[in-house]
Amino acid sequence: MSSGNPNTSNAPVTDAVATVISEWEEITASPTELEAFGRAMANMVKDLGLTPAEVHALATKGSSAKELPCLLEALRISIRALAEKEPMLLNDLRRTCTMCEHKRECDADIAAGTLVPAYQKYCLNVDALDALQHDNKFIAEL
């Protein structure tokens, strides 16, 4: 049994949450409220399995996963079936899409109608999407 602090393993996540909270100028609360909010956020982040880098990226990018439904549709993957049968996988796809560094490329490919097969060059979800494309329970009806 270790004699260290039991929260030591959560320290990077807690620090990341504290940093993000301190950067949110619109939060006006007492120090006690901020501390409670920070603890709640750290617990949520831990439960979701996010890394400190993911917390910071999600909180500061102001980004979305608006490209994901376009990609799923282009690949004929049913977002409804995915949400019903594999909601955690859908959440993972959204989180990865949200943090993507290739939004401009993806948006340009969507606008040009060249998303498939161009996304395979840069999409971080390519492996999961490939597996979904080959699973009949996720194929969208025409």
Residue 2 pLDDT class (50, 70, 90 cuts): very low
Co-location of 86 and 49 in the same domain: no
**What mean pLDDT is reported for the chain?**
79
pLDDT on residue 77: 96
Q: How many domains does the chain have?
A: 2
- Amino acid identity at 127: D
Per the CB < 8 A criterion, the answer to whether 64 and 72 are in contact is no
Of residues 111 and 95, more confidently modeled = 111
| Mean pLDDT, range 38-50, rounded to an integer | 77
Domain of 52 in residue numbering reads as 10-61
The residue written with tokens 């409670």 in the block is 36
Task: Output the pTM of the full model.
Answer: 0.59
The residue written with tokens 């060249």 in the block is 114
Co-location of 71 and 49 in the same domain: no
What tokens were used for 87?
């909601």
What element of type H or E holds 130? Answer: helix 126-133
pLDDT in tens, 54-99: 776 666 655 678 899 999 999 999 999 999 999 989 988 998 998 8
Co-location of 73 and 125 in the same domain: yes
Co-location of 85 and 117 in the same domain: yes
Q: Which of 61, 86, 104 is the last residue of a domain?
A: 61
Local structure of residue 141 (DSSP, 8 states): P
Per the CB < 8 A criterion, the answer to whether 73 and 130 are in contact is no
